[in-house]
C-alpha cells in the first residue's frame, strides 16, 4: 500500500484567530487572521467597518500590519475608547480568489476593574455603619433574659461590679 499527498487548489478560507477581543484602554491590541489554503494567501488587507464605509488600514501612526503567507496581524497601539472599538475586516487574496473574516474589538476603560472593587468597599462601609449605629443605640434592657449574654438579674450584684450593670456570659 502506497501513500500519496495530494494538494487541492482552491480559493482561500480566511479565519479570525479570535472573533472578538476585549482590551483595556491604552494597551496594544493584536487582531489576527489566518489561512491554510493552497495556493497560499499572497496579499492581506485590513479595513475598519464604519457607518460611512470601510476605512483601509495600513502602517500609519498607531496601526501596524505584519503579514506572512498564512497569517496577518493588525497591531493597534495605545487603544482609544472613542476611536478604536468596532469591527475590523481582514481580506486574504490568493491566485484562486479572496475571502475575509471579521473581528470585533471592544475597548474597556482603564478604570473598569476599579468599579466592582469600589462597590464592594461601599457595601462594607454601609454595613459597618449600620451595625455600629445599632450597637450604640441599643440599651441593656433590649437584651432578652434567655440570651447567654443577658444580665444576671437573679444573682444580684457581684462584689467586683461596684454598683454597675455589667454583662456577663455563661461559660458553659
Residue 56 included in any domain: yes
Q: Examine the pLDDT at 147 and tell me if it is beyond 90.
A: no
Q: List, in sequence order, every residue forming a beta bridge with 103; answer none if it has no partner.
A: 88
Residue 172 included in any domain: no
The whole-number pLDDT of residue 86 equals 96
The whole-number pLDDT of residue 110 equals 76
Residue 63 included in any domain: yes
In the numeric block, the cell 488587507 is attached to: 45
Residue 161 included in any domain: no
The residue ranking higher by pLDDT, 161 or 61, is 61
Q: Examine the pLDDT at 87 and tell me if it is beyond 60.
A: yes
Residue 150 included in any domain: no
What's the domain count of the chain?
1
Among residues of the chain, what percentage have pLDDT more than 90?
55
Mean pLDDT of the chain: 85
CATH number of the structural domain spanning residue 20: 2.60.40.10
Q: How many helices and strands in the chain, by DSSP H and E?
A: 1, 9
Q: Examine the pLDDT at 144 and tell me if it is beyond 60.
A: no
Residue 167 included in any domain: no
The whole-number pLDDT of residue 112 equals 74
Among residues of the chain, what percentage have pLDDT more than 70?
80
Q: Examine the pLDDT at 67 and tell me if it is beyond 80.
A: yes
**pTM for the model:** 0.64
- 137: part of which helix (H) or strand (E)? helix 114-137
**Strands of the sheet with 14-16, listed across from one edge:** 14-16, 29-35, 71-76, 63-67
Q: Which domain holds residue 47?
A: 14-108
Mean pLDDT of 131-149: 71
Q: Over the Cα atoms of the chain, what is R_g?
A: 34
Amino acid at each position: 500500500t502506497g501513500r500519496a499527498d495530494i494538494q487541492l487548489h482552491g480559493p482561500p478560507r480566511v479565519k479570525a484567530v479570535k472573533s472578538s477581543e476585549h482590551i483595556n484602554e491604552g494597551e496594544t491590541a493584536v487582531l489576527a487572521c489566518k489561512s491554510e489554503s493552497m495556493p497560499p494567501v499572497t496579499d492581506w488587507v485590513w479595513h475598519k467597518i464604519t457607518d460611512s464605509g470601510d476605512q483601509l488600514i495600513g502602517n500609519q501612526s498607531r496601526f501596524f500590519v505584519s503579514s506572512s503567507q498564512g497569517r496577518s496581524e493588525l497591531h493597534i497601539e495605545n487603544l482609544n475608547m472613542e476611536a478604536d472599538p468596532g469591527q475590523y475586516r481582514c481580506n486574504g487574496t490568493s491566485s484562486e480568489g479572496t475571502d475575509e473574516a471579521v473581528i470585533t474589538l471592544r475597548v474597556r476603560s482603564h478604570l473598569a476593574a476599579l468599579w466592582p472593587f469600589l462597590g464592594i468597599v461601599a457595601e462594607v462601609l454601609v454595613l459597618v455603619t449600620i451595625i455600629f449605629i445599632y450597637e450604640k443605640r441599643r440599651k441593656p434592657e433590649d437584651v432578652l433574659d434567655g440570651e447567654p449574654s443577658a444580665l444576671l438579674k437573679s444573682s444580684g450584684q457581684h462584689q467586683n461590679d461596684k454598683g454597675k450593670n455589667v454583662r456577663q456570659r455563661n461559660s458553659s
